[in-house]
Chain A
Amino acid sequence: MSVIYMLLAISVSVALLFFLFFILSVRKGQFDDSYTPSVRMLFDDELVKDPAERPSDDNPKQSN
């Protein structure tokens, strides 16, 4: 068999994989709010000024 078939199969399946990720991310609502995350990512560094303050803070922002 020609290597072309294999290459094609690989390229198409990689493309399909990315397409699947796209569908999943839309479904999870990643495209609903395209603004807030860009602001939120700038906060995290300054958030904890006193690390001993609140140990239960491990995972404050989980998903919906």
Chain B
Amino acid sequence: MEQRPCYHCGESCGNQSQSYDGKDFCCTGCKTVYQIFRDHKLDYYYEIQEGAGRTPVPAEGKYDFLDDPEIVGRLLDFQDGTHQVINLSIPHIHCSSCIWVLENLHKLHPGVISSQVDFPRRQARVHYDTGRLGLKELVQLLSAIGYEPSITLEQYSGKEAKKDRTLIYQIGVAGFAFGNIMFLSFPEYFETGEFWLEQYKGLFRWLMFSFSVPVVFYSGAGYLKTAYKGLKAGILNIDVPIALGILVLFFRSTVEIAFDLGSGFFDSLSGLVFFLLLGKFFQQRTYSYLSFERDYKSYFPIAITRLKPGGGEENVPVYQVVTGDRLLIRNNALVPADSLLIAGQAEIDYSFVTGEARPVRKAAGERIYAGGKQLQGVIEVEVLKPVSQSYLTELWSDSAFSKSPKTAFRNLTDRIGKRFTLAVLTIAFVSAGTWLFIDPSRALNVLTAVLIIACPCAIALAAPFTLGNLLRIFGKRGFYVKDTETLERMAQANTAIFDKTGTISTTQKNSIRFTGIELSESEAAVLKNVLRASGHPLSQALYRQLAPYNIVPLESFEEHVGKGLEGRAGGHHIRVGSREFVQAKGEGSQTGTEVHVSANNAYKGCFTISNSYRDGAGSLFGRLANRYTLAVLSGDNEAEQAALEELLPPLTPMYFNQKPKEKLLFVRELQQQGRKVIMVGDGLNDAGALAQSDVGIAVSEDASLFTPACDAILDSRQFARLDSFLVTAHKAIGVIRLSFGLSLLYNLVGLYFAVTGQLQPVIAAILMPLSSISIVAFTTAATNWIGRDLGPNANKLLGKS
């Protein structure tokens, strides 16, 4: 059977299957990794998970900069003599096999002392001995087995912020105090006035008091601070009644035990803080291996090859590149700064920067902008502007990046918080005022009781649990949202703007059309083999689409950089490439990229490669059009306009040749008209618009790889389901409103006891946790219910992280 999956990577082998050791491999790369693993007795790798591997990418010379001790020093985590420790981020980590093999690195090379994988962060922490293994060799070793680490400028320019564990400590303290206070207050719930109890009452109560001090002033400190900040800024957020509740609980309880008036509410107090913090913890859960804050730094290489004036090469950090430097840009490498082409044939892919799908050819003396990727061969350039002032990086100086327009957003809970606080204060003072006439001695009691019982614990929990759970449901289905606030903004949006290249259209699949004289079978076989020998993206795209033929050894093959390929086999001479190269006649078409073919010096015709749109894009737009105003912003030219018009609902506005800055301004203008904008994009060219929009969604083929700064990352396979995610986010707001209603009911019951002056500690201790727990149960069940029609999990392992 030809279509057996590759034993290493699980991809279909096609007609290139190589058999080794009784197993099929799709390419030599995969076979080599298998050999490495087998030779080191690591073939258990294939037993844990089938086809878990990845084809290694040759990285010749790519990591030469890791020879520079200064660069290495900045990347390292720890160094002591020859012992070095580094945290490498490896995007390919995705299953148990990966964890296993990376933690057994010491079997592959004796220089590795130990390694430990952090799966949720997609990181491996490697201890190694520089005497036997340098960082460069380590990285090359990882690349050779298909686990290429991503080393970017971002890691170089700043160390990761220390892990913030404050919340876990706060929860620990609150939970510890809550449990102990519950034990200590239990006797008083039922046995009031009993002899022994009276004996030790004071001791028990002061113990409870001492447990609750850290709860209020350490665990609850966050609420007190935000409430204070809110009041200072004149905002009544939800933390104000919470902080009020906490403080009143604490001081009233202290007064009660000090003057022996009662047992106080320390149990309710610590329980309240504990549950609130749990809610916060749930809300803060994010996808630690995804980065939502990336800018050009994580896209740029750390170091670049500089040509010394007197000849010779050296590796220098990108930041040290200055105007006038001569740089060597290798095949498939990025141009890090605006520069002038000096020597070589440049073919620059700007798709990531501008959205333009077609590579651009540049001749010596022409300008190349930073962020372009050199596709073929080696070029030499002279730097015109340093990295930080280049065309691409300048976009980041726009105000959309420096100030965050999103911080002004007030979430549903805070909006309710204002009315709620006013209502609670009114009830508290009115009922206390009324009691002044009936029984003045109980007025203060009633006032504090109202503030205690009305503490909006359940309201504060409703949104974190609903949205936090939804975040997880979305994540399991390939839609990774940064935080719960993004979900709320998503539910409010009324405008959706799409980028074209890479967003609506896919770069993975092209549709190819042939016009001209049909090639004979033997000619087609030679053509296929000629294409196979080339690494150019167009050849690769064409190669994948052509029908499989047997491998014919080429008698001669030549790649003319920037022009085309020619090859000879079995009496046929095939030339394939640009119009001039093949000497075709006639006018070029404007609808896509062309590849011309001639056989034995006779022109045969051309392949037109055009964008193909993602599956289900048309129906997605149809459904979205009912709820949202749509628009398309493309950095590409108008070539695809007709095809887009077919895809989109009639009269959808389309804008072509949009520069990154223009996209940003377009979004800003819509916002000034009061629209809430969702921007869906994919590349750095959309970064400005994504940052400016209310919700920026980046579409990515692989969520753990590069995405520009955004609020949410959508797995491209889920693109056609975008509308159901948006609808579900909308429904979630409904769930929150329902739980607000539910918790108000609890509050009414509690207020009855408080206003009538009969609030016992035991009632508070029952009512407050009960309301919190039932809200948590209700929201969890409800979100699972509204998330049920989102379909099955996209990736089980990813969801667990």
With both chains docked as a complex, state the minimum distance between the C-beta of B626 and any C-beta of chain A, in angstroms. Answer: 40
Of the 9-residue stretches B111-119, B229-237, B240-248, which lies at the interface with chain A?
B111-119
A contact residues around B203 at 8 Å (CB): 5, 8
B180–A12 CB distance below 8 A = yes
User: By the criterion CB–CB under 8 Å, are A31 and B119 in contact?
Assistant: no
CA distance A12 to B206 in the complex (A): 13
A31-B165, A39-B96, A61-B103 known; A19-B172 Cβ under 8 A: yes
Chain B hits for A39, CB < 8 A: 96, 99, 119
Q: Within the complex, what minimum Cβ distance (angstroms) separates B532 from chain A?
A: 39
Q: Known: A31-B165, A33-B118, A33-B119. Contact between A53 and B41, CB under 8 A?
A: yes
B492, chain A: closest CB distance, angstroms: 33
Asked whether, in the complex, the Cβ of A22 is within 8 Å of the Cβ of B172, the reply is: yes
Taking A8-B203, A36-B119, A39-B99 as known contacts, 8 extra A-B pairs with beta carbons closer than 8 A to each other, sorted by chain A number, are A5-B203, A32-B165, A33-B118, A33-B119, A49-B41, A54-B107, A60-B114, A62-B114
Q: Do B41 and A4 have beta carbons less than 8 Å apart?
A: no
A22 to B165, CA, bound (A): 12
Which residue of chain A has its CB nearest to the CB of B123?
A33
Q: Is A23 an interface residue (CB 8 A)?
A: yes
Partner of B180 from the list A5, A15, A29, A53 (CB cut-off 8 Å) is A15
In the complex, whether B20 has a CB less than 8 A from a CB of chain A is: no
A22 to chain B, nearest CB (A): 5
Contact in complex: A26, B120 (CB < 8 Å): no
Interface residues of B (CB under 8 A from A): 41, 44, 47, 85, 96, 99-100, 103-104, 106-107, 114, 116-121, 125, 163, 165, 168-169, 172-173, 176, 179-180, 183, 199-200, 203, 207, 800-801
With a cutoff of 8 Å between Cβ atoms, the chain B residues found around residue A31 in the complex are 165, 168
**Once bound together, how far apart are the Cα atoms of A19 and B179, in whole Å?**
11
Asked if A40 and B103 make an inter-chain contact with CB atoms under 8 angstroms apart, the answer reads: yes
B176 to A22, Cβ gap below 8 A? yes
Q: Of A8, A19, A40, A49, which contacts B207 at CB under 8 A?
A: A8
| Contact, CB under 8 Å: A35 / B120 | yes
Interface membership of chain A positions 1-20, coded 1 if the CB is closer than 8 angstroms to chain B and 0 otherwise: 01011001001100100110
- How far is it, in angstroms, between the C-alpha of A62 and the C-alpha of B103 when the chains are bound? 11
Q: Check B114–A43 contact: CB distance below 8 A.
A: no
Given A22-B172, A31-B168, A54-B107, A36–B114 Cβ distance below 8 Å?
no
Chain B binding surface SS class: helix
Are the CB atoms of B800 and A35 closer together than 8 Å?
A: yes
8 inter-chain pairs at a CB distance below 8 angstroms, sorted by A residue, are A11-B183, A19-B176, A22-B176, A23-B172, A26-B165, A43-B96, A47-B44, A60-B103
Chain A nearest Cβ from B681, distance in angstroms: 30
Return chain B residues, CB-CB under 8 Å to A54.
107
Of A2, A8, A32, A50, the residue contacting B41 (CB under 8 A) is A50
Complex Cα spacing A1 to B99, Å? 58
Chain A residue, CB-CB nearest to B203 = A8
Q: How many residues of A contact B (CB 8 A)?
A: 35
How far in angstroms is the closest Cβ of chain B from A16?
8
Q: Quick one: which of B85, B116, B199, B200 contacts A61, CB cutoff 8 A?
A: B116
Contact residues in A for B41 (Cβ distance below 8 Å): 49-50, 53
User: Which residues of chain A have C-beta atoms less than 8 A from B180's C-beta?
Assistant: 12, 15
B168 near A36: Cβ-Cβ < 8 Å: no
Distance between Cα atoms of A35 and B796 in the complex (Å): 13
Question: Which of B104, B106, B117 contacts A36 (CB under 8 A)?
Answer: B117
| A57→B118 CA distance, assembly (Å) | 21
Tell whether A36 pairs with B172 under 8 Å between CB atoms, given A4-B200, A12-B180, A26-B165: no
CA A54 to CA B179, docked complex, whole Å: 49
Q: Which of B44, B103, B120, B125 contacts A64 (CB 8 A)?
A: B125
CB distance A26 to B107 under 8 Å? no
Given A32-B118, A36-B118, A36-B120: A46 in contact with B44 (beta carbons within 8 A): yes
- Residues in chain B near residue A26, CB distance under 8 A: 165, 168-169, 172
Which residues of chain B are near A35, meaning CB under 8 Å?
A: 119-120, 800-801
Considering the chains assembled together, what is the distance between the CA atoms of A31 and B166 in angstroms?
A: 12
In the complex, are the beta carbons of A43 and B120 less than 8 A apart? Answer: no
Query: Which residues of the other chain, B, contact A27 by a CB distance below 8 angstroms?
Result: 165
Q: For residue B200, which residues in chain A have a CB less than 8 angstroms away from its CB?
A: 2, 4
Q: Which residues of B contact A29 (CB under 8 A)?
A: 163
Chain A residues with CB below 8 A from B169, complex form: 23, 26
What is the distance, in angstroms, from A13's C-beta to the closest C-beta of chain B? Answer: 12
Residues from chain A with a CB closer than 8 A to the CB of B168 are: 26, 31
Chain A proximity of B202: nearest CB distance (Å): 12
**In contact, A36 and B99 (Cβ under 8 angstroms):** yes
The minimal Cβ–Cβ distance linking A42 to chain B, given in whole angstroms, is 8
Chain A residues near B117: list those with CB within 8 A.
36, 40
Contact partners of B120 in chain A: CB under 8 A: 33-36
Among residues of A, the one whose C-beta sits closest to the C-beta of B99 is: A39
Rounded to whole Å, the gap between the CB of A51 and the closest CB of chain B is: 12
Nearest-CB residue, chain B, relative to A18: B176
Contact (Cβ within 8 A) A40 B114: no
Q: Which residues on the A side are within 8 Å of B85 (C-beta)?
A: 64
* Distance of B797 from chain A, by nearest CB (Å): 9
The CA-CA distance from A8 to B381 in the complex, in Å, is 77
Given contacts A12-B180, A26-B168, A26-B172, whether A60 and B106 have CB atoms under 8 Å apart is: yes
Residues of chain B contacted by A11 (CB below 8 angstroms): 183
Contacts of A62 in B (CB 8 A): 114
Q: Determine which residue in A34, A39, A42, A64 has the highest number of CB atoms from chain B within 10 A of its CB, and name it.
A: A39
Collect the chain B residues with CB atoms within 8 Å of residue A40's CB: 99, 103, 117
How far apart are B277's CB and chain A's nearest CB, in angstroms? 14
Cα distance, A4 to B119, chains bound together (Å): 49
Q: Across the two chains, which residue of chain B brings its CB closest to A61?
A: B114
CB-nearest residue of chain B to A34: B120
A38-B199 Cα distance, complex, nearest whole Å = 49
Determine the chain A residues whose CB is within 8 A of the CB of B44 once the complex forms. Answer: 46-47, 49
Contacts of A33 in B (CB 8 A): 118-121
Q: Using Cβ atoms and an 8 Å threshold, which residues of chain A touch B104?
A: 47, 60
- Bound complex: CA of A43 vs CA of B100, how far in Å? 7
Closest A-B pairs by Cβ, 4 of them: A36-B119, A33-B118, A19-B176, A35-B119
Shortest beta-carbon distance from B427 to chain A in Å: 38
Most chain A C-beta atoms within 10 Å of own C-beta, residue among B116, B169, B800? B116
Query: Are B163 and A32 within 8 A (Cβ)?
Result: yes
Shortest distance between the CB of B31 and any CB in chain A (Å) = 22
- Cα–Cα distance between A18 and B44 once the two chains are bound (Å): 39
| Inter-chain contacts of A2 with B (CB < 8 A) | 199-200
CA distance A61 to B103 in the complex (A): 8
CB-based nearest B residue for A49: B41
CB distance from B97 to the nearest CB of A (A): 10
> In the complex, A4→B44 CA distance in Å?
59
Residue of A nearest to B125 (CB): A64
Nearest CB to that of A59 among chain B residues?
B114
Q: How far is the CA of A34 from the CA of B801 in the complex (A)?
A: 8
CA distance in complex: A50, B203 (Å): 63
Q: For B114, list chain A residues within 8 Å (CB).
A: 60-62
Q: Is the CB of A12 within 8 A of B207?
A: yes
CA distance A39 to B96 in the complex (A): 7
Report the minimum CB–CB distance from A57 to chain B (whole Å). Answer: 8
Q: Within 8 Å CB of A32, what residues of B?
A: 118, 163, 165
Closest to A43 in B: B100
Report the separation of the CA atoms of residues A42 and B99 in the bound assembly, to the nearest whole angstrom: 11
Nearest-CB distance from A23 to chain B (Å)? 7
A33 to B114, CA, bound (A): 18
Alpha-carbon distance between A44 and B153 when the two chains are bound, in angstroms: 37
Give the shortest distance, in Å, between B145 (CB) and chain A (any CB): 17
Please give, as numbers and ranges, the residues of chain B lying within 8 Å of A50 by CB-CB distance: 41
- Give Cα A20 to B41, complex, Å: 43
Given the complex, which residues of A lie within 8 Å of B121, measured CB to CB?
33
Q: How far is the CA of A31 from the CA of B169 in the complex (A)?
A: 11
Contact call A15/B176, Cβ cutoff below 8 A: yes
